[in-house]
Structure 1
C-alpha cells in the first residue's frame, strides 16, 4: 500500500488537531515541523509528498530539492511564501484557502474604516486621559454620500461593498482582472487606479501581494489623494509603499490610516507609524475568528487529500497552468469539502 509523507512546515497554533482529523488516513504520515530557514526546509521536506505551509520560505532552492512533492497548500489566501514559477516548472500543485475569512476581513476593514473616520481611537485616549471634549476630534465628516475606493475587487472587497451600502457610501473599485459585468451586478463602478485615488474619501486596499502589486500604492497615489482621505489596508503590508505613506502622514496630505498589516511584521517598537495619533494599527488579526481559523486549517489539509488520496486537482489550485500537465483528475463535486468540514468542525 502506497504511503505518503506530509510535512506541516510551520504553524502558530496550539496543536494540529484539525489537520490530523482531515489526514487521518493510515496511508498518510503527518510530520509536524517548525522550519525557520531555507536549510530547515531542505533538510526536513526533501522526501515529502505534500507540504502544508504558513510562513517558512519555499524558495526555488527548496523546491528544486524536493524529490517527491506533488502538492503544497498554504494556510490563508496569499501564496507569497512559495516560488510559484519554480513549483509550476516542477509540476507541483500549489493551493491556498481563499474563502475562509471573507466575513472576518471585510468586517475588520469596516471596523477600521469606522474607527479612523469617526476618530474612535484618539477619542478613547482623550477620555482616558481626562479630556472630555468633542472639539479635540475635529474635523469629523459624515460618511453618507462619501466615496469608498476598493483596490482589488475579489471576494473580500465585494463583501465589504455589501456591508457599507446601508451607510450610504458610494463604492468604486480598481481591479484590472474583474469583468465589468461583475462590478455592475455588485453595484460598483470600475475605475482606473488614478481615478480611484483622486475621487475616494476612503481607500481600502485588498490586492494580493505579487511582484506587480508590491508598492502599488506609493508616492504618486498619495499625491493624488484628497487631504481629508483615509487609507485602510487589510491585505499585505508591502502593497503600500510604507515610506511614501509615512511621508504623506507627516506632510498631512492625507487624514490618516487604519492598518492591519505592515511591511515587516511584527512592527518594530520604534516604527514611525506608532507615533501618529491618526493611525490605527492592529496585529494582522483581520483574518481571525475561532471559526475561520478552524476552517482555514481544515481546507489546507483537504487540499493535500485532494491530490494524494483522491488523485484530483486541489479545489483551490493557484497555478492553473498545470491543468492537463500532471496526472490528476478534475474535481467532480464539493461534497467531500462540505462533509469533511462538517465532521471535523463539530
Structure 2
C-alpha cells in the first residue's frame, strides 16, 4: 500500500507502527507539540495521505491543506476539540476518532482521583515524607454511601458507574443527548444539571467539549454544589472555568478537585491551582495507560488503513459525517 501517514505529536504505539509497516505504509512523525511550520513542512514534503493527531496544539485549515494528497484526519483518542471540524468538512476531509478505546482507562483514572482525594492521600504522603507519624492527622473518609454525579453517560461514564456501585456509591447522571438505555440498571437519570450538582457528593465530568459545554461549570454551578463535594475532571479542561474553580477551592465552597485536564495545556508554571492543598493533578494522562495507548493506536491505525484501502469503516468512528 503506497500511502504515507504522518503522526503529529509523536509516533503511535509500537504495535500500531508494526501494523503500518506490514501494510507497506510509510509512517512519519513529529515530536510532541510541534511548531506549526514544522508540521506544515513535513505534511507538504511527504505528501501525506493521512494525519494522525496526537499531541499538537491544533489541526487547522493550513495543516489540512499542506498536503495535496490528504484524504483523512484521525484523532489518536476520542476528543476532537483540537481539530477544526468545520474546516475539515469544508475541505471534504473525513475525521475519525478512536471512540471507546480508552474508556476503561479514563474511568479508572477518575476513580483513582476520587479515592486519592477522599482518602487524603496527597497530604498524608507529604506528612510521612516530612517525618510525621500520627494517625490523628488523618482526614480520610469513605466513598460508600455517597452520590456520584456523572455529567455525561457515554462509555466512560457507564464504565465508572459500574466500578463505584460495588463500593456502595449511588450513581446519577445528567445527559440530555443520551437515550434512556444508556443509563442502564444502576444509574438514575436526572433532568437538569442543577439537580445533579445540588445532590452529588462527587461530580465527575464525562462530556465532550463543545460551544455549549465550554465553561459549563463556573461560579454559579459551584454555588449549587455541597461544601463537602469533590469535582473530578478527566474530560476537557475548558469545561470548567478555572478562575471560578480556584475561588471555590480557596473559599471552601467545595472540598476538593481531582484534575487531569486544564484550560491551557501544558499549564503555566504559576497556575494558582498548584498552591492549593485540596487539589490533585495529573498531566492529562488518564487515557494513556500502556493498555489504552496500545488499543487507541491499534484502533486508529485499523480505521486509517481501512479508509485508505476503501474498506468499510464503522460510522460511529466518524466525527463529521
Measure the CA separation in 2 of the matches of 1:280 and 1:249.
12
Measure the CA separation in 2 of the matches of 1:143 and 1:311.
47
Measure the CA separation in 2 of the matches of 1:317 and 1:283.
26
Match of 1:62 in 2: 63
Residue 293 in structure 1 maps to residue 290 in structure 2? no
Match of 1:22 in 2: 19
Question: For residues 123 and 277 of structure 1, do their structure 2 counterparts lie closer, same or farther at Cα, with a shift above 3 Å needed?
Answer: same
Aligned Cα RMSD in Å?
2.2
Three-state SS of the structure 2 residue aligned to 1:148 is strand
Q: Which runs of 5+ in 2 are unaligned?
A: none
Question: How much does 1:198 deviate?
Answer: 0.9
- Residue 41 of structure 1: which of 39, 44, 57 is its match? 39
Question: How much does 1:16 deviate?
Answer: 5.9
Question: How much does 1:36 deviate?
Answer: 1.8
Question: For residues 33 and 269 of structure 1, do their structure 2 counterparts lie closer, same or farther at Cα, with a shift above 3 Å needed?
Answer: closer
Describe the superposition over 1:223-267 as per-residue Cα deviations: whole angstroms up to 9, x where unpaired. 111111111111121211111100101111110111122222333
Question: How much does 1:6 deviate?
Answer: 1.9
Match of 2:94 in 1: 93
Aligned residue pairs total 317
Match of 2:6 in 1: 7
Measure the CA separation in 1 of the matches of 2:255 and 2:13.
43
Question: For residues 33 and 124 of structure 1, do their structure 2 counterparts lie closer, same or farther at Cα, with a shift above 3 Å needed?
Answer: closer
Question: How much does 1:272 deviate?
Answer: 1.4
Match of 1:324 in 2: none
Instruction: Map 1:143-222; keep pairs closer than 5 Å.
Output: 143-222=143-222
Instruction: Map 1:277-288; keep pairs closer than 5 Å.
Output: 277-288=277-288
Question: How much does 1:315 deviate?
Answer: 5.9
Match of 1:306 in 2: 306
CA contact (8 A) 2:8 2:29 kept: yes
Instruction: Map 1:106-121; keep pairs closer than 5 Å.
Output: 106-121=107-122
Match of 1:259 in 2: 259
CA contact (8 A) 1:52 1:73 kept: yes
Q: Which runs of 5+ in 1 are unaligned?
A: 322-346
Question: How much does 1:320 deviate?
Answer: 4.7
Tell me the TM-score normalized by structure 1.
0.84
CA contact (8 A) 1:183 1:189 kept: yes
Measure the CA separation in 2 of the matches of 1:186 and 1:130.
44
Tell me the TM-score normalized by structure 2.
0.90
